[in-house]
Amino acid sequence: MPPASPAANAPASITHYENFPVASWLCPPRLRAPIAAIYHFARTADDLADEGDHCAEKRLAQLQQYADDLQQLGSAGEAAMLMRTAWPHIFGPLAVQVQAHRMPKPLLADLLSAFEQDVRMTAAQTRYTDMAQLLDYCRRSANPVGRLLLHLYGVANAKALIQSDAICTALQLINFWQDLSQDLPRQRHYLPDADLARHGLVRSAIKPEAAALTPELRSLLGELNRQARSLMIHGAPLVHQLPGRTGWELRLVVQGGLRILDRLDAMQGRNLYQRIKLSKLDMVAMLWQAVRM
């Protein structure tokens, strides 16, 4: 493969995509380029699935082309793909890093599978039947990021992978429950039908407003917070397997998730119609708890 131009290797500007350790000074310098490449790949796919006013068919077509371009990395067709792709600023840097670090493409493909599922379910107004189905979504939307990072850090033992999955799934669930007030108006429903039914709730009554916060719904939201906390605590020992800056980065990620859960618990279900944000005081508390891990 001919060497890519400097422009192709330059990462796109970072504007959003929360909870990703791209620009952190704790990130080891040698890994900033591959992590940035993964970040921009995921961020762009997320935008294809969610941003703008395209219809579902257009979004799915773009995601399919994006997935097809991904599959060309490392193949005989890579150079031709980089010449014609609509996303050279994404696949140029990613091609370099996939080759340099032997990054597993199936994990990147899993992310695209989750974004595609989001588009299809939102368009069809399909809901998650039970928690197992939602956790399968997390397996593809969140867990690949942790596994890719562990791959870059050279950590591949089974225990670490399980702990990483627990942390990433917890972060995804926390994001769902933190964003209820924003997702519900957009017809994105992550509360599983089986859990609603178990608490005597019907989906049509779940609205981002104070009047909808019944004792039953408050109980369900508390239960979901506890599940996410249990997953995070299960995965937290992974911080001791990662050395130096990397371990400190993960400590802050874990404590950030736990701090959001503390705030959600304190809201007692008001996250249904109010979105929380961490304050500077919360950041200080996170840092203190990270030191104590």
Other C-beta atoms closer than 10 Å to the C-beta of 40 total 23
DSSP labels for 55-119? Answer: -HHHHHHHHHHHHHHHHHTTSTTHHHHHHH-S-HHHHHHHHHHHHHHT--HHHHHHHHHHHHHHH
Kindly report the pTM of this predicted structure.
0.88
Residue of 226 and 278 predicted with greater confidence: 226
Where are the domains positioned within the chain?
A: 23-126, 128-293
pLDDT at 231: 98
Q: Tens digits of per-residue pLDDT, 26-42?
A: 678 889 999 999 999 99
- Please give the Cα distance from 204 to 126 (Å, whole number): 13
177, 271 contact by CB (below 8 A)? yes
Tell whether the model's pLDDT for residue 174 goes beyond 60. yes
Tell whether the model's pLDDT for residue 16 goes beyond 60. no
pLDDT at 17: 39
Closest CA to 173 of 117, 124, 131: 131
Closest CA to 138 of 117, 159, 158, 161: 117
Q: What is the mean pLDDT of residues 188-213?
A: 96
Q: Tens digits of per-residue pLDDT, 104-148?
A: 999 999 999 999 999 999 999 999 999 999 999 999 999 999 999
Tell whether the model's pLDDT for residue 9 goes beyond 60. no
- Could you give the 3-state DSSP secondary structure of residue 276? coil
- Please give the Cα distance from 139 to 283 (Å, whole number): 28
Closest CA to 10 of 30, 26, 32: 32
Question: Diameter of the chain by CA atoms?
Answer: 63
Other C-beta atoms closer than 10 Å to the C-beta of 171 total 26
Which CATH number fits the domain 128-293, given the four candidates 3.40.50.300, 1.10.3720.10, 2.10.109.10, 1.10.600.10? 1.10.600.10
Tell whether the model's pLDDT for residue 1 goes beyond 70. no
